[in-house]
Amino acid sequence: MASRTRAALTTIAGKTVGPVGYGLLSLTVPWAPIEFPTAIKLMKTALENGANFWDGGTHYGTPERNSLHLVRAYFEQYPEDADKVVLSIKGAFTLKDGPDNSPEGIRASVEESIKVLPPSIKPIDIFQCSRVDAKVPIETTIQTLAELVKEGKIRSVGVSEVNANTLRRAHAVHPISAAEIELSLFTTDPLHNGVLDTCHELGIPVVAYSPVGRGFLSGQIRKPDDLPENDFRRMLPRFQPENFDQNIKLVEAVSKIAEAKGVTTAQVAIGWVIKHGGIPIPGSTKEARILENTKPAELTDGDLDEIQKILDTIPVSGQRYGGEQEKLLNG
């Protein structure tokens, strides 16, 4: 099991980041679009509260309105912030076709990215393929990205949803600046499958997406009908009626710890990720939630032991994504 590693501030792509970042997915989802002026205000709030690691993707939104368009709009308004932010972009992937990590696919994704977001406005600090492509050796993928670094089109190379062996093979080709994985009280696999241990051994920062269990640990979801009718989470296994009642038990147990500490459930969840060496990247569309998320709970070893007892006795029910998307995880 991965050791507990308290990560306060971490250096990524030559900049100090942490302990909490900001995920841009929630600002560009097609089913609940937020106007860019509102999104920009939220991003400014995140940055002003220390969340200077921003995570986006070419598939976060539509080809005409995704993370890159939003980031461009932000830095056109606040050019002085460009050097303050570490920008990580995932690409070479579509929800329809999955990953294309061929040299041609990667280059096409990067070229489109810098067309939308020119380096003169904001360079892409980290580019990573959103998922491992089983048809392409990881060495080929990383070598292509390394060439793009040399060409000045991206600043560094990251990986996403990789297993420990793939991570080692990737790092042997070119230094990996960050490994993005799902890590939360709802997804503790990296503590046991060697990914966290490998990251710590190789000195690779861990970026943890969905740190509040896709909203489960926000404390705002008590029953399936609390999700909007068009919310994509209604399609995810863990939110299905046959799994929901079991999973809410975990939330309720963690909530008791939060109440005793005088913090929120989300702050405990985010603090837990930090304590295990991850940089959580919660996303939010509300200013109050950003202010909450950027003030994680300080957890003691006693707190961690209590949380572990909960995890041992209340198993999570349901896969992360289910279907074809589940097959692309931990590649």
Return all residues near 142 (Cβ < 8 A) that are at least 6 apart: 157, 159, 170, 173, 174, 176
Return all residues near 190 (Cβ < 8 A) that are at least 6 apart: 2, 181, 182, 183, 196, 206
Q: Using CA atoms, how far apart are residues 202 and 175, in angstroms rounded to an integer?
A: 9
Q: Using CA atoms, how far apart are residues 274 and 290, in angstroms rounded to an integer?
A: 16
Residue that is written with structure tokens 């041992």 in the block: 312
Cα dihedral sign, 149-152-154-156:
positive
> If DSSP codes are grouped into helix, strand and coil, which group holds residue 86?
strand
Nearest to 172 by CA among 200, 138, 144, 148: 138
Nearest to 195 by CA among 217, 152, 219, 164: 164
Whether the CB-CB separation of 22 and 67 falls below 8 Å is answered with: no
Whether the CB-CB separation of 160 and 328 falls below 8 Å is answered with: no
Whether the CB-CB separation of 221 and 228 falls below 8 Å is answered with: no
60 is catalytic: yes
Q: Is the peptide bond before 19 cis (omega within 30 degrees of 0)?
A: yes
From the number of C-beta atoms within 10 Å of its C-beta (0-12, 13-18, 19+), residue 262 rates as: exposed
Residue tagged active-site, from 60, 74, 78, 209? 60
Residue 28: CA count within 13 A, CB half-sphere: 23
Nearest to 55 by CA among 83, 90, 79: 90
Here the tokens at position 1 are: 């099991």
Report, as residue numbers or ranges, the catalytic residues.
Answer: 60
